[in-house]
C-alpha cells in the first residue's frame, strides 16, 4: 500500500520454492499437494506443513484453472445510465479507455452479488474475485464441485475459476487481524500498518510505516515478531507465506436523511452520511464508526438519534443512527452522488477487485477509482480496522468519512480513510455485523 517506491522489502522470493524472511525467520514452501475436487467442507489446503527455520508454512493445494463459459445463447446484463456515467467519470480522471471499461463491467452487479453469496455460502472454498483484462475471475482453495460450477454458469457470462489458493477468505481475514494486532501491541513503534492478500503471488503482505524516531532495530523486531505470533496455534503453521514491506505513507481516518448528507458535531463539520439502512425493522443512516457519536444531520437537531448503534466488533468502521420518526421524519432510499444530484439505491454488493467504484464526500465531492485490493486489515490512526477495500488512487479528504461508495445504483461501501495513493472504504457486506441491511428499491 502507499507509494510504489517502498523503502525496504523485507521478504524476497528466492530461487526455487523458498521464501527468505528478514532476520532469523524463514519459511519453506513445498510442492503442491494432491488435487482435491468437489464441494467438501474439509481443510482449505491439503498436505503436511513445510518446516523452515522458525516459521512453518502449510503446504499449498494443487492449483489449476477452468473457464466457465456462458454459451452462445446467453448474454450478460447491461449497465444502467448511472453506471455509464460513473465509468465516463473514471475514464476522464484516469485516462483509461471508456469503451473497454464498459465491456469489462457488463454484468458486474450480477457477478458481484454472486461472489458475495459464494463467500457467505462457502467460506472454506472462496478466496477472492475480481475483473482483469481477460474478464471476470474467482479464486478458490480447491476446484469447485458441479453444484458451484452450475451456479457460475447460470450467471450468463464467462468466468475464470482459479483454484489452488493457499487459504480461504475467512482464514485470510483472521491472519490479517492477527498480524495487525501483533504490530499494534508495541505502541510508538509503527505509525500505521496494513495486511492484505496478494492474489497474484498468493501471499499475505504486511506493509508498515515506522513512527518518527522509532529505533530501526525495535521496529524490525516488532514486525518479525508479528509474523511469528500470527501462527495458528492448532497446527503451528501459517496458511501462506507472509512478506513484510516498509512504506513511507501514513494511513489516516478522514473525519473532520439520505445518504451523502452532511453530519455535524457540536455545530461544526464532522463526517458524511452513508447509505440509509434498516435495522431491526427501524430505518436510519450508516456512517463510519470513528466519526463522533452524537452527531446531527446537517445543522438540524432531532432528525437522527444522537446515540449510534456500533458493531460489537470494533474492527469494522461502521455505525448506524436511527431516524427520529417520532418527530415526523422519514427515511428515503436515495443517496447523494454529486453536489446537485441524487440516485436511488437498487442493489448492494461488495465490489470485485479491479472494478470501478465511485464515492461522494462532503469535502472532496464526486470522484472515481478502481478497487485494487479487497478485505484489508489496517491500523488507522492507532486503531485496527478490517473489512476494507482499497482503491488505486487517493481521491478522498478529511470530512468524507462515512460517505457512500457506489457504482451506478449499487451500494459498494462506507468511506473510512486513506493516504498516499489509496482511499479506503468498509465493504458494504460488513453492514451485516450491525444487523443492518441497505435500503433498496
pLDDT of residue 383: 78
Instruction: Find, among 400, 357, 436, 150, the residue nearest to 254 by Cα.
Output: 400
- Which CATH number among 2.60.40.10, 3.40.718.10, 2.40.10.10, 2.40.420.20 corresponds to the domain 252-438? 2.40.10.10
Asked if residue 63 has pLDDT above 90, the reply is yes
Q: What is the largest CA-CA distance in the chain?
A: 68
Pick from 192-201, 270-279, 413-422: least confident: 270-279
16 pLDDT band (50/70/90 cuts)?
Answer: very low
Distance CA 5, CA 184 (A): 24
The answer, yes or no, to whether residue 11 has pLDDT greater than 70, is: no
Q: What is the per-residue pLDDT across 211-258, written as a single tens digit (0 to 9) for each?
A: 888 899 999 988 988 888 887 666 778 999 999 999 886 665 544 344
The whole-angstrom separation of Cα 56 and Cα 60 is 12
196 pLDDT more than 90: yes
Q: Considering only CA atoms, which of 172, 319, 196 is closest in space to residue 247?
A: 196
372-424 per-position pLDDT tens digit: 999 999 986 667 899 999 999 999 988 888 899 999 999 999 999 888 889 99
Contact partners, residue 317, CB within 8 Å, separation at least 6: 253, 288, 289, 290, 380, 385, 387, 388, 414, 416, 426
Tell me if 158 sits within 8 A of 135, measured CB to CB: yes
State the cell numbers at 247. Answer: 512504506
Place of cell 473525519: 255
Q: What is the pLDDT of residue 297?
A: 64
The model's pTM is 0.80
Residues of the chain with pLDDT > 70, as a percent, come to 75
* Residues 413/369, Cβ–Cβ less than 8 Å: no
Instruction: Name the E strands within 164-318.
Output: 190-198, 203-210, 237-238, 242-246, 252-253, 262-265, 268-272, 276-279, 282-287, 296-297, 309-310
263: confidence class by pLDDT, cuts 50, 70, 90: low
Provide the pLDDT for residue 13.
Answer: 24
Nearest to 383 by CA among 174, 183, 227: 183
Report pLDDT digits (tens) over 125-149.
999 999 998 999 999 999 999 999 9
Bigger pLDDT: 359 vs 187? 359
Q: Would the pLDDT of 312 be above 70?
A: no
340-351: average pLDDT: 94
Q: Where in the chain is the domain with CATH 2.40.10.10?
A: 252-438
Of 276-290, 303-317, 331-345, the one with minimum mean pLDDT is 303-317
More confident residue, 50 or 414: 414
Q: What is the pLDDT of residue 399?
A: 81
Residue 367: pLDDT above 50? Answer: yes
Kindly tell me if the per-residue pLDDT of 336 is higher than 50.
Answer: yes
| Predicted local confidence at residue 237, as pLDDT | 86
| Cα 220 → chain centroid | 27
Q: Tell which residue, 243, 229, 235, 144, has the closest CA to residue 185.
A: 229
At residue 60 the predicted structure's pLDDT band, cuts being 50, 70 and 90, is confident
With contact defined as beta carbons under 8 Å apart, do 193 and 380 qualify?
Answer: no
Amino acid at each position: 500500500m502507499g507509494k510504489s517506491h517502498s523503502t525496504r522489502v523485507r521478504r524476497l522470493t528466492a530461487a526455487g520454492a523458498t521464501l527468505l524472511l528478514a532476520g532469523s525467520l524463514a519459511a519453506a514452501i513445498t510442492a503442491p499437494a494432491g488435487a482435491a475436487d468437489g464441494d467438501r467442507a474439509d481443510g482449505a489446503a491439503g498436505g503436511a506443513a513445510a518446516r523452515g527455520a522458525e516459521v512453518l508454512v502449510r503446504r499449498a493445494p494443487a492449483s489449476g484453472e477452468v473457464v466457465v463459459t456462458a454459451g452462445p445463447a446467453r448474454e450478460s446484463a447491461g449497465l444502467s445510465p448511472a453506471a455509464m456515467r460513473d465509468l465516463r467519470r473514471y475514464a476522464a480522471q484516469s485516462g483509461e479507455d471508456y469503451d473497454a471499461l464498459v465491456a469489462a463491467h457488463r454484468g458486474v452487479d450480477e457477478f458481484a452479488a454472486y461472489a458475495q453469496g459464494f463467500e457467505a455460502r462457502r467460506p472454506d472454498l472462496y478466496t477472492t474475485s475480481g475483473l482483469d483484462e481477460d474478464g471476470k475471475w474467482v479464486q478458490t482453495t480447491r476446484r469447485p464441485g458441479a453444484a458451484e460450477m452450475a451456479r457460475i454458469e447460470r450467471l450468463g457470462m464467462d468466468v475464470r475459476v482459479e483454484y489452488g489458493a493457499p487459504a480461504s477468505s475467512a482464514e485470510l481475514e483472521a491472519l490479517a487481524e492477527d498480524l495487525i494486532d501483533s504490530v499494534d501491541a508495541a505502541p510508538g513503534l509503527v505509525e500505521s500498518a496494513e495486511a492484505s492478500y496478494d492474489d497474484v503471488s498468493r501471499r499475505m503482505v504486511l506493509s508498515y510505516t515506522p513512527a518518527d524516531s522509532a529505533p530501526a532495530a525495535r521496529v524490525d523486531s516488532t514486525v518479525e515478531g508479528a509474523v511469528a505470533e500470527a501462527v495458528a496455534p492448532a497446527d503451528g503453521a501459517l496458511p501462506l507465506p507472509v512478506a513484510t514491506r516498509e512504506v513511507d505513507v501514513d494511513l489516516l481516518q478522514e473525519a473532520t436523511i439520505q445518504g451523502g448528507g452532511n453530519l455535524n458535531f457540536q455545530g461544526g463539520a464532522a463526517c458524511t452520511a452513508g447509505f440509509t439502512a434498516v435495522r431491526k425493522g427501524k430505518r436510519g443512516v450508516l456512517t463510519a464508526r470513528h466519526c463522533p457519536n452524537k452527531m446531527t444531520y446537517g445543522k438540524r437537531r432531532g432528525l437522527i438519534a444522537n446515540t449510534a448503534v456500533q458493531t460489537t466488533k470494533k474492527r469494522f468502521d461502521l455505525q448506524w443512527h436511527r431516524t427520529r420518526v417520532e418527530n415526523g421524519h422519514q427515511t428515503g432510499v436515495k443517496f447523494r452522488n454529486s453536489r446537485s444530484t441524487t440516485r436511488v439505491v437498487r442493489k448492494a454488493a461488495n465490489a470485485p477487485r479491479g472494478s470501478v467504484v465511485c464515492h461522494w464526500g462532503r469535502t472532496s465531492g464526486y470522484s472515481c477509482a478502481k478497487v485494487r485490493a479487497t478485505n484489508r486489515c489496517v491500523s488507522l490512526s492507532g486503531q485496527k480496522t478490517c473489512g476494507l477495500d482499497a482503491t488505486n488512487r487517493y481521491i478522498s479528504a478529511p470530512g468524507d468519512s462515512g460517505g457512500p461508495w457506489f457504482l451506478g445504483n449499487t451500494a459498494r461501501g462506507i468511506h473510512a480513510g486513506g493516504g498516499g495513493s489509496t482511499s479506503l472504504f468498509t465493504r458494504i457486506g460488513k453492514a451485516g455485523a450491525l444487523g443492518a441491511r441497505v435500503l433498496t428499491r
